[in-house]
Structure 1
Amino acid sequence: METSISSNIKTRFLILSDTHGHELPEECSQHHADVVIHCGDLTDCSYLTEFQTTIQQLQRLDAPLKLVIPGNHDFTLDTPTFQQKVNASGLDANEHDRRLVRQVYGDYEEVRRKLFTDDLQQSSGITLLDEGIHVFTLANGARLTVYASPYTPSLGGDWGFQYHPDTGHDYQLGSTTSSSSSSSSSSDPIDVVITHGPPRGIMDYTTSHSDTHSERGRRAGCPGLFKAIARARPRLHCFGHIHEGWGAMIAQWRDDGMGSSSSIAANEPSHFMAIDHGRSTVISKLARLVELGKEKVPAVMEASHCSEDPAPLTPGEHTLFVNAAAKRCRPEVPVHPLWLIDLDLSRAGAIC
């Protein structure tokens, strides 16, 4: 008697962001994952030593593939911004100053060329992603299609990978059809979106007195990014940047007029219109960590939303949003937990 092979494979993601060159709790390296995702702000000041510390931390994590994007603090990976900052500070005026810059920050493109090397990718699975779509065949046999972007909106624009909110940014995610259809407008529907910043309305509310990237007490996410996510409806969208927005939620997309693909294409959808909040689920948020107290906050927060789980994620109907900013913004929580997430992915070679 032949047994059928499932077209889906349970895949574990360990997600973190905004580590800012700090070491992670030892417990984080005790969890195996199929994919580690770091959503940017690898450093605090873009020092070479901070990049080296973060790479060492990533090497300790147990996963065959580790996907990394920069954040606004990692400005040396944004060469035009790095050059502008050096020129504006006058540190290119003489060889002595240029030598000091190279000692602390490296030369232009040095971090990319000498730290995030092909050898590092081969030995530790650490892969620095440029903006765009990337397709991987995982060690567990699943196919993973990722869209990555390090860009965030900013009124100042003096950090890396930033754009003015009035200008916006073109997040070219493409589009997918709902799970009820057997075809898609893309040969590889996007499974996971990795951005440094959040979409507007999703775990993007700033309340921290130390927030320097947006006005305190305002939503800091990007409306254009939300529109792109609402059109593509990936299984998972992970990000950081807004530390006080740490948390995760399963969003239920509306399939009425306000949430349909045609409406999204023609209008600027908001999280109020496109998401059915009455049928969405908050998995956790920072306020719940504060209630736990400093001694009870775990190093890793786990959630599973595969087909056999009590709350399965249905592609095209749900998106799991994860803000994985690890650096604390409240004294009651020493370090925000990393996220360990189980999701179904399509088997490589399966017909979608």
Structure 2
Amino acid sequence: MRLICLADTHNLHHEIPIPDGDVLIHAGDCTDGGTRNETENFLEWFSSQPHKHKVLVPGNHDFYFEKADNLSKIPDGIHLLIDSGLEIENLKIWGSPVTPGIHNWAFNRERGNQIRKHWEQIPVDTDILITHTPPFEILDEIGSGIKLGCEELKRILPIVQPKYHLFGHIHNASGSIIRSGISYFNLSMLDERMRIMYSPRSIEL
């Protein structure tokens, strides 16, 4: 099975060549302002891709998905994961859009107890974890050197021990690393100046 993974396209999805694969995964910030028009444009494009399975976890720019009334409008064939999961060919996938913060962004939660409640929902038999935020100190450093990942997410990972952890959010830290048996992928497509700098990641399972 081939996973095609990307994140942080911010309305530039039409300009990104998408490789063939079985599962297409977007780890958040498919839009920039989270408006209905932006979101419908992305969903139409995402839905039209030929991949058999399409998995979407929103990001902090994707305000449209915070409104419960909008969730019934997701096209058939797109699996929208908001603190929820699915199983594809015996692979257990869990997704959550929450990011640490106290600002007026989508799916923001305060660091500490508030955000920990979301990570405690992750099943311990998860194979592929998709979050928008990175864990603290793993592919989470912005250009100034500050690390913005989530401490509580980092604490839960040794318990869940997924095979793969896919995320985005921090454009400057796009890349991959393996630590303690977990393969981490920051899937950001754009740099900090919102230019397309990277390609979708292909993962063979």
Q: TM-score, normalised by structure 1?
A: 0.54
2:41 aligns with 53
Structure showing greater Rg:
1
In structure 2, C-alpha distance between the alignment counterparts of 1:245 and 1:196, rounded to whole Å: 13
Indicate yes or no: 2:70 matched with 1:111: yes
Q: Contact conserved, 1:77 with 1:111, CA < 8 A, in 2?
A: yes
**SS in structure 1 of the partner of residue 116 of structure 2:** coil
Paired residue for 1:334, among 177, 196, 203? 196
2:15 aligns with 25
Cα deviation code 1:203-240 (max 9, x no counterpart): 00011xxxxxxxx4311111110111122111110000
Deviation at 1:50, TM superposition (A): 1.0
Unaligned stretches of 5+ in structure 2? none
In structure 1, C-alpha distance between the alignment counterparts of 2:105 and 2:193, rounded to whole Å: 24
**SS in structure 1 of the partner of residue 17 of structure 2:** helix
2:111 aligns with 165
1:303 aligns with none
Deviation at 1:70, TM superposition (A): 1.1
Unaligned stretches of 5+ in structure 1? 1-10, 80-108, 176-188, 208-215, 254-317, 344-352
Between the two proteins, what is the percent identity of the paired residues? 29
**SS in structure 2 of the partner of residue 27 of structure 1:** coil
Cα deviation code 1:236-283 (max 9, x no counterpart): 1000001111001222x1xxxxxxxxxxxxxxxxxxxxxxxxxxxxxx
Paired residue for 2:151, among 189, 202, 223? 223
1:250 aligns with 178
**SS in structure 2 of the partner of residue 237 of structure 1:** strand
Q: Contact conserved, 1:15 with 1:37, CA < 8 A, in 2?
A: yes
1:149 aligns with 96
In structure 2, C-alpha distance between the alignment counterparts of 1:229 and 1:193, rounded to whole Å: 10
2:4 aligns with 14
**SS in structure 1 of the partner of residue 183 of structure 2:** strand
Relative distance call for 1:157 and 1:60 in structure 2 (3 A) is same
Indicate yes or no: 2:73 matched with 1:135: no
In structure 1, C-alpha distance between the alignment counterparts of 2:16 and 2:99, rounded to whole Å: 30
Q: TM-score, normalised by structure 2?
A: 0.89
The alignment covers a number of residue pairs equal to: 202
Deviation at 1:112, TM superposition (A): 1.8
Cα RMSD over matched residues? Answer: 1.9
Paired residue for 2:66, among 61, 64, 78? 78
In structure 1, C-alpha distance between the alignment counterparts of 2:64 and 2:41, rounded to whole Å: 16
Q: Contact conserved, 1:157 with 1:164, CA < 8 A, in 2?
A: no
